[in-house]
Structure 1
Amino acid sequence: MDTVDFISPERLKTFEKQTDRQEKAVALHNHTLQLGSSLMSMIALLELSLRNSTNQRLIESFSDTEWLLPGHASIPLKAFEKNAISSAIAHARKAAYAKLSYKEKAYLDAFAFPSGKPADTTHKVEVRKRQSLFVVSQGQVISQTTFSFWKRLYSAEYDATLWKTCLKRVFPDKKLKRSDVSVALETIYATRNRVAHHEPVYGARLEEAMNALEMVRNSLGASSATVDTSFKKFSRIQYLRLRMDYESFVEAWQTLT
């Protein structure tokens, strides 16, 4: 097989449009993958830190340590976020169920079907009933929430109810607007999705992504962009690797295109 067959002609077309030889297109493709790896690493740390910082501020402001769990309605959320929480709870239960042995799973039938399991019960219904028995924790649900859920809490829909009341403390710089944070998170979210699907990030899209990551990294928990925050220290290695791969990519792009 030729190298192009490993990548696929369709995928390589994106890079062939930027170069004059297939060899250069392949090299550019591989530089893009390396950059994508560093982008995902940095975005993963940011996502992890954003959701935990946001969760902590919401707990402090609404005095509810289990606001994500069933039966809790202390935080004024929109329908989309409520549905996202329900999905996260279902995934948390599924994850807990997956850890059981076959015998342990079968043992749950005594509780899932106290009057006996109907003969026509499908496997799908059986599993759903078993999983519904699990009582999951706040931490288990948080681990199943998506980046989309957390970045939406910084959207205009929550300006009055969440941003002004508590989430401004996640980004305490008085010069920073909610819209600045929201736009940056949207850019990072879009970048994450592109890289996750092995789609290239270059040109203006790459510059926007780098600027958004820089802004959020400098602003999370910071009273000003120059403060050496805990998050900056926490993400230092990943950030340095990203900068190195970014510079390498830009140099390769200039050389190969």
Structure 2
Amino acid sequence: MMTATDDPNAWIPQALSEARFGKYLDAHGGDVDAAFHMYVWTVSVGGAFYPLLHFAEITLRNALHSALVAEFGREDWWTVAPLTDYSQNLVKKAQEKISGSATPPNPNQVVAKLTLGFWVSLLSDTYDRALWVPALHRAFPGYKGRRDRLHAELEALRDLRNRVMHFSPLKGRDLRADHAAIYRLYGYLSAGLSAAMRKIDQVPNVLWQR
């Protein structure tokens, strides 16, 4: 006889919480088994995408930081760059996250704490003349297109990254296009990055298993 603990309709929603699992249930008309299958698949896909997104984010961050250091002649370029109040507030929040030290945070610590949203925002219309034209275009030696198109691509990748990190449903996304977009970014940033990442890339295998 099946007990409550054996019945997936009882334990799965409770174990995963309504906030997390409810959106999967909604997407599958309340079918717990189908929703759980999609949840497990989403976790698997996220695990495969994670290293690709990790290296994309770190490489992007460091490339933008290096370009701005070269432009302003100092590691803490945000103290002199023409940042908006919104961007300055994100820098302040990053500094506040660095605790446990009697000394002010050093620039490398601040850079590591700044969000992907902050870095992507530096490529928005707001900073076209202030940052893109004099400095940030140099962060993308493999890119020859318009800044606004690059910004749109990075916003799409930021959305994917946030969905992966928060285990949000990926149904409806063109994950093969997302995968290709990551490799385009690699090509914009570094000639050797794409080849290195293909050696560890598990995304095609996971997508094939769907």
TM-score, shorter chain, exceeding 0.5 = yes
C-alpha RMSD of the superposition? 2.4
Q: 1:139 to 1:4 in 2, by over 3 A?
A: farther
Structure 2: distance between partners of 1:6 and 1:55 = 47
Structure 2 unaligned segments of length 5 or more: list them. 14-20
| Alignment pair present for 1:16 and 2:44 | no
Q: How many residues are paired up?
A: 198
1:245 match: 206
Q: 2:146 aligns with which of 163, 168, 177?
A: 177
Within the alignment, does 1:48 sit opposite 2:58 as a pair?
A: yes
What is the deviation of 1:210? 3.0
* 2:199 is aligned with 1:230: no
Match of 1:121 in 2: none
The match for 1:83 is 89
* Partner amino acid, structure 1, of 2:25: K
The 1:49/1:181 distance shift into structure 2, 3 A limit, reads same
Distance 1:22 1:87, change over 3 A: closer
Q: Which residue of 1 aligns with 2:74?
A: 64
Q: 1:7 to 1:161 in 2, by over 3 A?
A: farther
Q: One-letter code of the match for 1:177?
A: R
Identity, % of aligned positions: 23
Q: Secondary structure at the match of 2:104?
A: coil
Taking the TM superposition and a 5 Å limit, the aligned residue runs for 1:208-227 are 209-221=178-190
1:40 is displaced (CA, Å) by 2.5
Aligned counterparts of 1:34 and 1:170: Cα–Cα separation in 2: 32
- Quick check: 1:203 aligned with 2:164? no
The alpha carbon displacement at 1:7 in A equals 3.6
Please say if residues 89 and 136 of structure 1, whose CA atoms lie closer than 8 Å, have aligned partners that are also in contact: yes
Change (3 A) 1:5 1:214: farther
What is the Cα deviation at residue 29 of structure 1?
A: 2.5
TM-score, length basis structure 2:
0.82
Q: Is the 8 A contact 1:184 1:215 kept in 2?
A: no
Describe the shift of the 1:168–1:6 C-alpha distance in structure 2 as closer, same or farther (beyond 3 A): farther
Residue in 2 that maps onto 1:186: 155
Q: Aligned equivalents of 2:119 and 2:155: distance in 1?
A: 11
Q: Residues 174 and 210 from structure 1, CA distance in 2 versus in 1: closer, same or farther, beyond 3 angstroms?
A: closer
Greater mean alpha carbon deviation, residues 5-14 or residues 46-55: 5-14
Residue aligning to 2:17: none
Structure number, greater radius of gyration:
1
Asked whether the 8 Å contact 2:183–2:194 carries over to 1, the reply is no
2:171 aligned partner, one-letter code: Y
Alpha-carbon distance in structure 2 between the residues aligned to 1:17 and 1:205? 22
Residues 42 and 167 in structure 2, CA contact (< 8 A), matched pair in contact too: no
